[in-house]
A and B are shown apart, each in its own frame.
Chain A
Amino acid sequence: MPTLEFREAIRQAIDESLAADERVILFGEDVAVAGGVFVTTPGLYEKYGPERVFDTPISELAITSAAYGSAVCGLRPVIEIMFGDFLPLAMDSIVNQAAKFFYISGEQGSVPLVVRAAVGAGGRFGAIHSQNPGTWFQNVPGLKVVAPSTPADALALLKASIADDNPVLFLEHKRLYSVKQELESVGDEPVSLGQARVVREGLDVTLVSIMKGVGDCLEAAARLSSIGVQAEVIDLRTLRPFDHDTLLASLAKTNRLVAIEEGPLTGGWAGEVLAVVAEHGLHDIDDVWRLATPDHPIPFSPPLEDAFLPGVDTIVASVCERLGVQAPR
């Protein structure tokens, strides 16, 4: 059966958007001639030419500000910040320029740009090429933060992000680039940003995650099923806007909810999940908790990094402990 690879979904979404709208442009470090260091944009330079697909200096602030300025003046730029860890270099342009423009201009105009960035740990890239910066930006009104978990979602959500009139930070987990999905399950229906998805239904406990964490949750749910625990799995898909309704509906059903975040416990989006359910669903709660990474930088050495990240084993063990059941062997 034909399959769609995550990185090909990214390429396809940009390709279709470039073809559909002359205003769409793509630029970043090594995205054009080289086709991207994660091989997400090959062939686009050859197809659309140097005016619409081009390489830039290693200047994250200039790249992002150029995207901002061109978006204010009518283009719809898609830029790549190679690693999400480089986003701090571009912070002023994203946070102070792009995200605030619509509101402080008195809604004179908006900033239709997409910042793509590869994020996430597990690749032995160390503390400064492995972070998940989504939560840094979840706190910024005016910015949408998208974090897909599957090739089909990567395709649909990136197209929706490029079509969106607002600035969007689109996060691509490095460990997902080579994930393949059967093509028949790839829908072509338009999706709206800000809608979580129930990817597996269950009655006993809700597992909430994004990106690679969703696959881990599905695997954990399969193992929990073998001991009779039926886990529901929610893919948040966007960190901002933040879908309260899907969380609360699931909590009302399962009464137990755990947020699994590949990122530091303190100040992470998992804390926001717990805040939402505590604030709006207190009467439905039997138990809610978080699984996240320790509050220290991401280590390099494989045994250290593996132990640092919340994986399938951690999720299964934690759910069994909180539910008071024997873990599956």
Chain B
Amino acid sequence: MTGLADSASQTPALAPLSLDQALALYRRMVLIRRFEDTVQVLFQRGEVPGTTHLYSGQEAVATGVASILEPRDRVAGTYRGHGHALSLGVDPQALLDEMLGRASGLCGGRAGSMNVIDLAHGLMGCYGIVGGSIGAATGAALALKRSGGVAVAYFGEGATNQGYFHECLNFAKVHNLPALYVCENNLYGEFTPMEDVTAGRIVARAQTLELPAETIDGNDLWAVRAAAAAAVARARDGGGPQFIEALTYRFVGHSRSDPGAYRKPGELDAWRQRDPLKLTRAGILERYETADEAQLDATDADVERQIEQMIAAGLAAPYPTPGPAAEFKA
């Protein structure tokens, strides 16, 4: 863990989760994983058109951050954004229907996997251009400064090499905007290892602009919650933009066509030992005397039933009808 010395010290303690709350977060993480597995299967069956970028392996980041947010906050996700959406409570059926290109999709089938938007759940957008989420959340923070809200941007470590990153973190700092920048460092930008294309440390880039910044274990739900709670509290209190680098790993390829041949030998297996779902299960059993495996297994089974129903409903949903569409809001 690295961080500015003053970043974590002035923060009130985060109230511990009740068992029910912890189980609800675990359920959400399982839902994200099973949702992504489902998208993958439906893609291979030809039911999901285009391309997909799955969040499998990174569930603790979005789930942990979202567990700290309030309805007045806003989130900008990435093209790997299904997890960002589901963590906010976006209707999984509507999200799946969007992947399937159906009229009942979250955006009526107009957006697809990479560009999901759900304003009702605080998701201002997911951005198919690397770094776009950073700009979007910076603007959101400008508006939320009036209402006490905080804007969160998710992005990968690859986005820290984009102009958006430097321009917007500087912009947010000089205007003291309530933004939380969450870099999900999954070690690869598409197929290329981070170290081949990235100079220096990610967190140092934020620190040089004097954002409170720390590197955390992004697969540890409790670590994410603690860091996010502190950062969000500081941003909400007028402390300006905050930065978290969450170390994590995607268990799948960059996109649908990528088998992940570039991974170092043993790397995937090592990260699977630190699967955020496994860690969360273990964490719950360790923290709550009344928790048991049966509860967690029941949660898994419950999500499984939900997924089965969603697949059936999604595949039965009608496609949108081609026809004239409004270019502008009247």
Contact = CB atoms under 8 A, between A and B. Distances in A.
A279 B128 CA distance: 36
A109 interface: yes
A151 to B, nearest CB: 26
B117 A93 contact: no
A89 B164 CA distance: 10
Given A59-B167, A61-B164, A105-B119, A141 B327 contact: yes
Contacts of A68: 135-136, 139
A105 B107 contact: yes
A294 to B, nearest CB: 32
B8 interface: no
Contacts of B327: 103, 141-142, 241
Contacts of B142: 25, 66, 69-70, 73, 75, 77
Nearest to A54: B175
Contact of B124 (A72, A100, A110, A166): A72
**Residue among A101, A102, A105, A110 with the most chain B CB within 10 A?**
A105
B328 A106 contact: no
A301 interface: no
B129 A108 contact: no
Interface string A56-90: 11010111111111111111010000000000010
A92 interface: yes
B171 A105 contact: no
B138 interface: yes
B110 A67 contact: no
B101 interface: no
A159 interface: no
A74 B143 CA distance: 7
B143 A69 contact: yes
Contacts of A71: 139
A75 B143 contact: yes
Contacts of A70: 139-140, 142-143
A107 interface: yes
A185 interface: no
Contact of A165 (B132, B164, B329): B329
Contact of B325 (A61, A67, A103): A103
Contacts of A25: 142
A144 B326 contact: no
A61 B107 CA distance: 26
Interface in B108-125: 108, 110-111, 115, 117-120, 124-125
A102 B110 contact: no
B132 A104 contact: no
A97 interface: yes
B168 A73 contact: no
Interface in A92-151: 92-93, 96-97, 100-110, 141-142, 144
B167 A57 contact: yes
B174 interface: yes
Interface in B45-77: 74, 76
B96 to A, nearest CB: 15
B139 A66 contact: yes
Contacts of B164: 61-62, 65, 92
B136 A103 contact: no
Given A70-B143, A72-B124, A106-B107, A62 B167 contact: yes
B140 A61 contact: no
A65 B74 contact: no
A178 B325 CA distance: 41
B108 A106 contact: yes
A108 B118 contact: yes
Given A165-B329, A166-B328, A57 B170 contact: yes
Contacts of A166: 328-329
A92 B164 CA distance: 10
Contacts of B167: 57, 59, 61-62
A68 to B, nearest CB: 5
A101 to B, nearest CB: 7
Contacts of B105: 106
A66 B129 contact: no
A97 B110 contact: no
A69 B140 contact: yes
Contacts of A57: 167, 170-171, 174
Interface in B307-330: 325-330
Given A25-B142, A73-B139, A92-B129, 5 more contacts: A59-B168, A59-B170, A65-B168, A69-B76, A104-B115
Interface of A: 25, 54, 56-57, 59, 61-75, 77, 89, 92-93, 96-97, 100-110, 141-142, 144, 165-166, 241
Question: What 3 pairs across the A-B complex have the smallest Cβ distances?
Answer: A69-B139, A65-B135, A73-B143
23 contacts: A57-B171, A59-B170, A61-B164, A61-B167, A65-B138, A66-B135, A67-B139, A72-B119, A72-B125, A75-B143, A77-B142, A89-B163, A92-B164, A97-B135, A101-B125, A105-B119, A106-B105, A106-B106, A106-B107, A106-B110, A107-B329, A108-B107, A142-B328
